[in-house]
Amino acid sequence: MMKLWDAKFKKKLDKEVEEFTSSLTMDKQLAKYDVLGSIAHTRMLAKCKIIKEKEAKKIVFALKEIGRELEKGKFLFKDDEDVHTAVERSLTEKIGTLGEKLHTARSRNDQIALDERLYVKDKIKEIISQITKFQKIILQVAKREQNVIMPGYTHLQHSQPVLFSHWLLAYLEMLERDKSRFNDSYTRVDVCPLGAGAGFGTSLPIDRKFTAKILGFSKVAGNSLDAVSDRDFLIELSSASAILMMHLSRLSEEIVLWNSSEFGFLEIDESFATGSSLMPNKKNPDIPELIRGKTAKVYGELFTILSLMKNLPLAYNRDMQEDKEGFFEMMKIVLSSLNIYTKFLPKIKLNKAKMGEMAEKGETTATDLVEYLVTKKVPFREAHRIVGKILKHLAASGKRLKEVSLSELKNFSDKFAKDVLKRIKVEFSVKSKNSFGGTSPKQVQKRIRDWEKRLA
């Protein structure tokens, strides 16, 4: 196996140890960033006259060629210990011993920290743009189904009627918080560790600000020990990802429930469902189920990286190599889940009749009666008691609230007048929830307009 460090060793490394310690299968995904970092580093070495301008030109030329090979999938990874070794090995194959100058004033310790940061910066941008895409889809569906009424739940019990669009827009709000978490974490990953060397700086006259600038970082890491051993940015990304997945998982749980025969609120498009190998009658909601499942893996990654770091003395430790596997997997999960939802959600068909029918069940407008009495100056607690008694009376006579007559109501309070009867209807109930952020069509419409402006 190609190594960069075995000159002082008398013995050859055991084959199985080679395999056990190699990280190439994982960190080859960082190759593009390793090349970018190497190009910036070479330019800096020339600018600081540590190598000659002519030498730098040759190195950069060959590194760019490697970059193109990687892009086209033509780069040949050999028996290299890691991605850093692979790039340097290929460079010396191309330009001979001049390639050996690349690693001046650099260590794989600051190199891997750099590669990971560059990778994470790109992923954060990708995730944010995917979230925005999904938010726009949510908005589109909310607008399309603006006036569909369904039961609103607390404790999974029918509580008060709510607009489906209002419910859906709740997820849009969650996603906005997710976006701000990713955005916020970006400021802390946007710090360049390159030039920290193995963790202690260098005696050579390097210019770290120059490297940071050409790599697009807004800051340079201020402590070389911290620069090579900080993985907070992975923890933050995992944590933001875990919260995002928790939101997607909650949405998934509702879709799975609502797709069941018991709820019957919606139907999943056939092109987004699967069947059973045994039961020909089945159409399963696999997408939301898998997203619920994959959420667990993302939580696992957050815990992996937290545990990985908690006992590490300063500065670099090889343990940190284990940050990659779950991390790459996590990014795949987050991006593919967002992507699949943007396709899946607009295809869901609502069973509006069933939703409307269920919106009434459980006497969901009882609170409207209470608020009616409050507007007639009845103290809230007394109004609550009065309506409680009405419900008890109706239950005893096997009647629904929507069947109650004005004279019956008057038996419980003389404050009831003719206009109370329309207050019992779910449409009226929803319309009347016109407090800021409430479920009235007016409020929802306003929120949709706000979001349209914000997401445009």
Residues that bind ligand ARG (CB under 6 A): 23, 27, 82, 108-109, 112, 318, 320-321
Cα–Cα dist 54/268, whole Å: 63
To ligand ARG, the closest distance from the beta carbon of 318 in angstroms equals 6
> Active site includes 103?
no
DSSP structural state of residue 2: B
> Active site includes 107?
no
Q: Which helix (H) or strand (E) holds 153?
A: strand 149-154
To ligand ARG, the closest distance from the beta carbon of 319 in angstroms equals 9
Cα–Cα dist 125/128, whole Å: 5
Cβ burial, residue 92 (10 Å; 0-12/13-18/19+): middle
Q: Which helix (H) or strand (E) holds 357?
A: helix 352-360
3-state secondary structure of 247: helix
Please, which residues have CB within 8 angstroms of residue 456's CB and are 6 or more apart in sequence?
Answer: none
Nearest residue to ligand ARG, scored by beta-carbon proximity: 321
Q: Which one is catalytic: 129, 260, 276, 405?
A: 276
To ligand ARG, the closest distance from the beta carbon of 79 in angstroms equals 15
DSSP structural state of residue 348: P
Closer CB to ligand ARG, 83 or 248, in the complex = 83
Closer CB to ligand ARG, 87 or 424, in the complex = 87
To ligand ARG, the closest distance from the beta carbon of 36 in angstroms equals 17
Residue with tokens 């100056």: 377
Tally of CB atoms within 10 A around 275: 13
Closer CB to ligand ARG, 108 or 247, in the complex = 108
Closer CB to ligand ARG, 84 or 158, in the complex = 84
To ligand ARG, the closest distance from the beta carbon of 116 in angstroms equals 8
Q: Find, among 13, 55, 60, the residue nearest to 36 by Cα.
A: 60
Closer CB to ligand ARG, 24 or 168, in the complex = 24
Catalytic residues: 155, 276
